[in-house]
Amino acid sequence: MTYPIQKTDAEWQAVLKEKHAEPGAFDVTRHASTERPFTGKYAKQWADGSYHCICCDNKLFDADTKFDAHCGWPSFSLAVPGAITEITDHSLGMRRVETVCSQCGAHLGHVFDDGPTPTGLRYCMNSASLNFSPS
């Protein structure tokens, strides 16, 4: 799949270093790794603002859509329209829906259909793939 923003691995590493991203951010965003639950810097953050892709700054979520799913990762009930691309993921012997940034293809996490109303969705994100912008 091709995304509007394209960079080499070295360029992405430089971008993440410049932004002082978490140590695992490159593996999470560019190689679809997953951070350990309850370890990400945004798992317990509840400030007003918005969450953006750590790689390209694409706005992904408003903070008022964040909720505590008790899963160990930041969870949101609604993404900014058009900000996320969903890809069927058959890894680990199961069927899941991977979420990636629609601008740069950074792996963000997965979306599940066990979230709160009205959407019923739980966007389960890696903190390492996010950057927070306060209001």
Task: Please state, in angstroms and rounded to a whole number, the distance separating the CA atoms of residues 35 and 24.
Answer: 7
Contact 22, 128 (CB under 8 A): yes
Contact 12, 29 (CB under 8 A): yes
Q: Quick check: is 124 catalytic?
A: yes
Beta pairing, strands 122-125 & 84-89: unpaired
* Contacts (Cβ under 8 Å, ≥6 apart) of 72: 36, 37, 38, 39, 40, 43
The active-site residue out of 53, 55, 104, 124 is 124
Catalytic annotation, residues: 124
